[in-house]
Amino acid sequence: MLHLSAEMLAGSLGKNQSTYHAWVQRLQAQGYLHARPHYTTVTARDGQRVTVVNGTLYAIRVEPGHQAHLSYEDLTRSYRDLDADREAGRTAWKVMQQAAQLD
């Protein structure tokens, strides 16, 4: 099981978001992959707690005949402190913004 930024994964593969999503759909349909957004709560600018996507979870089939599957535990586990990451500038949005400036 992996927790990654879909935007950064697409970028690292040198593909746009549409191509990446088409690949994910095809791999899921064939049972090689199970991908779902992962949610967490963060503090908004107005101080309210809001639910946001903090990455994408991927289960990958590694055995023939096995179906890739994310468990309830995978979906409910905490993978990062997004408030701390935002404060430190460790977000996919920030990285992608910086990369766009290099182009």
Lowest mean pLDDT among 15-19, 20-24, 37-41, 93-97: 93-97
For 29-53, how does the pLDDT look when each residue is reduced to its tens digit (9 = 90+)?
999 999 999 999 999 999 999 999 9
User: Which H or E run includes 99?
Assistant: helix 92-102
- The chain-wide mean pLDDT, for the chain, equals 93
Confidence of residue 102 (pLDDT cuts 50, 70, 90): confident
d(CA 77, CA 70): 11
* pTM as predicted: 0.85
For residue 90, CA distances in Å to 5, 15, 95, 97 come to 12, 22, 8, 12
Q: Given this model, what pLDDT does residue 103 score?
A: 67
Given a cut of 70, whether residue 58 has pLDDT beyond it is yes
- The whole-number pLDDT of residue 87 equals 92
